[in-house]
Amino acid sequence: MKTFTAGASLQPDFANSGGAGVIQVKHDGANNIFLHGSVNGTNFAFIKEYTADTIEEVILAPFLRISGSQTNSENTSVGTSAAYLSETRGG
Q: In this structure, which amino acid lies at residue 22? A: V
Average pLDDT over residues 35-57: 97
Count CB-CB contacts under 10 A for residue 11: 12
Say how far apart CA 27 and CA 33 lie, in whole Å: 8
Whether the pLDDT of residue 12 is over 80: the answer is: yes
Domain that holds residue 26: 2-87
pTM equals 0.94
Instruction: Inform me whether the pLDDT recorded for 49 exceeds 60.
Output: yes
Cα 85 off chain centre by: 7
Domain count, the chain: 1
Q: What SS3 class is residue 17?
A: coil
